[in-house]
Amino acid sequence: MSRQREISHARHRGHGSDIKSVCCAILLIGLIPVGLAGEEEGSVSSPITRAGEIDPGQIQLPPKFFAEKIYSVDRETQGSWVALAIDPQGRMIASAQSKGLFRITPPPIGSGKSARVQKIDLPVGQAQGLLYAFGGLYVVVNGRAAQGSGLYKVSDTDGDDQYDQVRLLRKFNGAGEHGPHSVVRAPDGKNLLIIGGNATDVPECDIQRPPPHWRTDSILSTQNDSRGFGAHLKPPGGWVCRTDPHGQVWELVAMGFRNAYDLALNSAGEIFTFDSDNEWDMGMPWYRPTRVCHVRSGGEFGWRTGTGKWPDHRPDSLPPVVDVGPGSPTGMAFGYGSHFPERYQRALFLGDWSFGNIYAVHLTPCGASYEGVVESFASAVPLPVTDLVVSPRDGMLYFTTGGRGVASALYRIGYRDLETPIKFQRTSEPSQAFTQRRELEQLHRPADADQVQRVIDFAWPFLSSADRHLRYAARLVLEHQPCRWWQTRALQERNAQALIQASIALCRAQNGTDSEIQQKICAALDKISWSILSQSEKIDLLRAYQLAIIRLGIPTAKLQSRLLDRLNPLFPDASGNVNSELCQLLVALKSPLVVARTLDLIATSKTQEEKIGYMLFLRLPGLEWTKQQRQRYFQWFKKLHAFQGGESYDSVLTQIHQEACEHLTNEEKKALGKLVQFDPEKSSSAASSVIKLQRRFVRNWNVEDFQSDLVKPLSNRDFDQGASLFSEIGCIRCHRIAGKGGILGPDLTTVGRRFTSGDLLEAILKPDRIISDQYRATTFKLNDGKQITGHIADIHKGKWSVITNMLQPRNYTPIDPQVIEDAWPSNVSMMPSGLLDTLSREEILDLLGYLQADHHRL
* DSSP secondary structure of 268-324: TS-EEEEE---GGGTTSTT---EEEEEE-TTEE----SGGGPPPTT-TTS---SEEE
Nearest CA among 589, 583, 507, 597 for reference residue 539: 583
Please measure the distance between the N-terminal and C-terminal CA atoms of the chain and give it in whole angstroms: 22
* Res. 648 pLDDT band, cuts 50 70 90: confident
What whole-number distance in Å separates Cα of residue 858 and Cα of residue 853? 8
Write the CA distances from 121 to 16, 91, 136, 163, 164, integer angstroms: 38, 17, 15, 8, 8
* Res. 684 pLDDT band, cuts 50 70 90: very low
Question: 610 phi and psi, to 5 degrees?
Answer: -65, -45
CA dihedral 680, 682, 683, 688 (to 10 degrees): 140
More confident residue, 697 or 647: 697
Asked if residue 197 lies in contact with residue 281, where contact means CB atoms within 8 angstroms, the answer is no
How many H-runs (helices) and E-runs (strands) does the chain carry?
A: 22, 33
Listed in sequence order, the residues at least 6 apart from 22 whose beta carbon sits closer than 8 Å to its beta carbon are 692, 729, 730, 832, 835
Residue 409: strand, helix, or coil: strand
Least confident of 15-19, 275-279, 513-517, 666-670: 15-19
Least confident of 351-365, 497-511, 755-769, 817-831: 817-831
* Res. 653 pLDDT band, cuts 50 70 90: very high
Residue 52 is predicted with a pLDDT of 33
Residue 115 is predicted with a pLDDT of 96
- Let me know the angle formed at the C-alpha of 234 by 175 and 580, rounded to the nearest 5 degrees: 130
What whole-number distance in Å separates Cα of residue 746 and Cα of residue 33? 10
Listed in sequence order, the residues at least 6 apart from 155 whose beta carbon sits closer than 8 Å to its beta carbon are 135, 136, 137, 163, 164, 165, 167
Q: Are strands 165-171 and 81-86 parallel, antiparallel or unpaired?
A: unpaired
Residue 763 is predicted with a pLDDT of 80
Nearest CA among 412, 410, 401, 379 for reference residue 759: 401
Least confident of 220-229, 357-366, 682-691: 682-691
* DSSP state letter for 681: H
* Res. 686 pLDDT band, cuts 50 70 90: very low
Residue 732 is predicted with a pLDDT of 56
* Res. 54 pLDDT band, cuts 50 70 90: confident
What whole-number distance in Å separates Cα of residue 639 and Cα of residue 225? 22
In the predicted model, what is the mean pLDDT of residues 802-821?
70
What whole-number distance in Å separates Cα of residue 841 and Cα of residue 846? 9
Q: Per-residue pLDDT for 127 more than 80?
A: yes
Q: Per-residue pLDDT for 39 more than 70?
A: no
DSSP string over 523-583 = HHHHTS-GGG--HHHHHHHHHHHHHHHHHH-PPPHHHHHHHHHHHGGG-S-S-HHHHHHHH
Asked if residue 550 lies in contact with residue 235, where contact means CB atoms within 8 angstroms, the answer is no
Residue 554 is predicted with a pLDDT of 96
